[in-house]
Chains A and B, each alone.
Chain A
Amino acid sequence: MNAAHATEGVTVPFGTRIRNWWGSLDRWQQWAILVPAVVLIYLLPVLNPPLLSTEPGTDFQITLFNAARIALIAIGLNIVVGQAGLLDLGYVGFFAVGAYTTAVLSSPDSFLNTSYPWLICVPLAMLVTAVSGLILGAPTLRLRGDYLAIVTLGFGEIVRLLADNLDPLRGQRGFAAIPGPEVTRADGSQIFTSSDGTPWYWLTVTVIIVVLMLVGNLERSRVGRAWVAIREDEDAAEAMGVPTFRFKLWAFAMGAAVGGLSGSIYAGQVGFINSQGFDVITSILFLAAVVLGGSGNKLGVIIGAFLIVYIPDRFQVIAQYRFLIFGLAIIVLMIFRPQGLLGARQRLLTYGRQAYQRLIGKGEQISSESALQKHGNGVLR
């Protein structure tokens, strides 16, 4: 894989080498690698590879679906934490709002009695969560750092306590018979059922691909630059004409909407939700996925989410120690690799490739020195 760049010497880090190698490929070469990789990802539940499989302990398809669901959450949380640098400890709140909105709109137990089909509930759930992101963000995004983290922690708890105690939200009794997408086979049986993870996995992976493209569009635009500028130095960003408050609100709303989307899919899959499973520890687990994989790196957080779900399911012996193990893993990571498994490197320009080509005669090479060793300093003086 890295043979082409082995000549560069040992100083270039492995990840950077991979990235440069990837960047040096043509579009069609990238597609030639990407398409089979995606096909393989889609085929995973069908292949059920012997070593990879979590069976007989846990249903492999369900594990994959859960991994994809958490990956979607990690992508949403990554907008807030990785891109805009706003530490959100109550992200599970948005997940819960998404799940509950779907439940309230579709379940026969609901006081609304609307019984909307799942497909209509999803956009509504995203809208409601985005608005809840705005409601949480508007008063709190004037805070910074630790203070913001504490307030968001509170938000997550408030959502859970409301679900527990508000009578219409039914607390522990919960909402049953939440429908999934109404798609039937030729023989009339439902495709999307709680027991079969495969169609849900495929659906979620498809959603992830679409969300990744849209989030990528955001990244390579004024919005992505504004977010990273805020993360790097909020005062300087403000002084450079970035309306920081507005863009922080956008980050919150976007992140919330993706969390709500995941919650909505979750509600549809399990078919029953109550106030359990939306606690702070779940929130921390989401954050662990982001931090472990590499805050700010979209691919990284997906890998992080996969590990967080997959490892306890695959190695059942350690499942009860998972928080201990993830905690230790994160401590070790913070010491040796604080940027996470895959470090962040966002491309923030739509025309970046062409611009760097024009200026320095190469594509975007981000390893710290490689671009300039050939030309000395100050040629342009």
Chain B
Amino acid sequence: MTAQEPPTEEIGAAAPEGGLVAELERMGPQERAVHDKEVAAAAATDREIAVGVGDTLLELRDLTMRFGGLTALDAVSFAIRRGEILGLIGPNGAGKTTCFNAMTGVFRPTSGEVLLEGRPISRRKRFDITQLGIARTFQNIRLFGEMTALENVMVGTDARHRTSVPGAVFRMPRHYAEERAGVEKSMALLEFVGIADRAAEKARNLPYGYQRRLEIARALATEPKLLCLDEPAAGFNPAEKDDLVSLIRKIREDGYTVLVIEHDMRVVMGVTDRIVVLEFGRKIADGEPDAIREDPAVLAAYLGVPDDGHA
């Protein structure tokens, strides 16, 4: 049965004929630039961040992760500064994803600390860490397949909402306020990552590239202080990789801090400000892309060392 219509205030501007998609086609380049700026502003976070731009936002202190006899991470320490794009690379099995999981609360580190804005977070629950400000995407895409793209993003915005069962059943004012703010934010984010034209489709019916972008939009919807992307370029062709690089840059320009795990060197070198290299659970290098490219330890890890005996 249909319940009563909610208070009818317009969502966004009045709906144009054919929707936003048709409207964008009609826009001239200048109009489009203005519009894009508005979208970026709506997609940005207005969340208070305790540290200034360029200061340490997230710090890993001697993070160690053991699974039985296997040491997946061995006293790894590095910092992510607010406003930068940090790359985390390493050969297969180096511990990148483990590091990621330990940061986002999937695993509880064996020892060591993860500090967000100077406060330890490694004992907290996963959803709590997301609400505190670390959002992630998944290496193998994990969307809510039966939900539409817009609904997927709304789940992300809900991380900052507080309405629970009583508020929703009895339609308290806060429910309407959050619902409206959330849907506006979600619409802006879909447009920001460039997939608004398929907002009403089930996530599982979207093409691969759209799904990757939707995951990013969903993560951004939680208004993270730090956005963690786990191999965002996996399965992309070169053109799509270029698009992704510009999207990641756009996200940073919008005021977000980004951590990227990536295998593709072109993406990593093209987008990051700084790179941390892991090998066998240890940090072997930490520096700017140009320095990393020449670093002997990194070259050895990726290409192997010449065997002296036969040289």
Q: Do A and B bind each other?
A: yes
Bound state CA distance, A30 and B170, in angstroms?
23
Report how many A-B pairs have Cβ atoms within 8 Å: 220
Residue A254 is within 8 A (CB to CB) of chain B in the complex: yes
Q: Which residues of A contact B243 (CB under 8 A)?
A: 381
| Chain A residues at the B interface, C-beta cutoff of 8 Å | 27, 30, 34, 209, 212-214, 216-218, 220-226, 228-229, 231-233, 235-244, 250, 254, 344, 348-352, 354-362, 364-366, 368-369, 371-372, 375, 377-381
- Given A351-B183, A354-B10, does the pair A380, B195 have CB atoms closer than 8 Å? yes
Instruction: Decide if A349 touches B151 in the complex (CB within 8 Å).
Output: yes
Instruction: Decide if A349 touches B150 in the complex (CB within 8 Å).
Output: yes
Bound state CA distance, A368 and B201, in angstroms?
6
Instruction: Decide if B144 touches A232 in the complex (CB within 8 Å).
Output: yes
Binary contact track B124-150/A, C-beta < 8 Å → 1, others 0: 011100110001101000111111101
Bound state CA distance, A82 and B275, in angstroms?
45
Of A214, A218, A226, A360, which contacts B197 at CB under 8 A? A360
Instruction: Decide if A30 touches B158 in the complex (CB within 8 Å).
Output: no
Bound state CA distance, A233 and B145, in angstroms?
9
Q: Which residues of A contact B5 (CB under 8 A)?
A: 27
Bound state CA distance, A162 and B53, in angstroms?
63
Instruction: Decide if A359 touches B190 in the complex (CB within 8 Å).
Output: yes
Q: A214-B169, A241-B160, A361-B19 are in contact. List 8 more A-B contacts (CB 8 A).
A: A222-B164, A222-B168, A237-B144, A358-B15, A358-B20, A360-B199, A362-B200, A372-B201
A255 to chain B, nearest CB (A): 12
| Chain B residues at the A interface, C-beta cutoff of 8 Å | 1-3, 5-6, 10-13, 15-22, 24-25, 104, 106, 125-127, 130-131, 135-136, 138, 142-148, 150-151, 154-156, 158-161, 163-165, 167-171, 175-176, 178-180, 183, 186-187, 190-191, 194-202, 205, 207, 218-219, 222, 243
Instruction: Decide if A229 touches B127 in the complex (CB within 8 Å).
Output: no
Closest to B144 in A: A232
Instruction: Decide if B180 touches A351 in the complex (CB within 8 Å).
Output: yes
Instruction: Decide if B17 touches A361 in the complex (CB within 8 Å).
Output: yes
Instruction: Decide if A344 touches B159 in the complex (CB within 8 Å).
Output: no
Instruction: Decide if A218 touches B183 in the complex (CB within 8 Å).
Output: no
Bound state CA distance, A240 and B223, in angstroms?
11
Instruction: Decide if B202 touches A229 in the complex (CB within 8 Å).
Output: no
Bound state CA distance, A40 and B136, in angstroms?
52
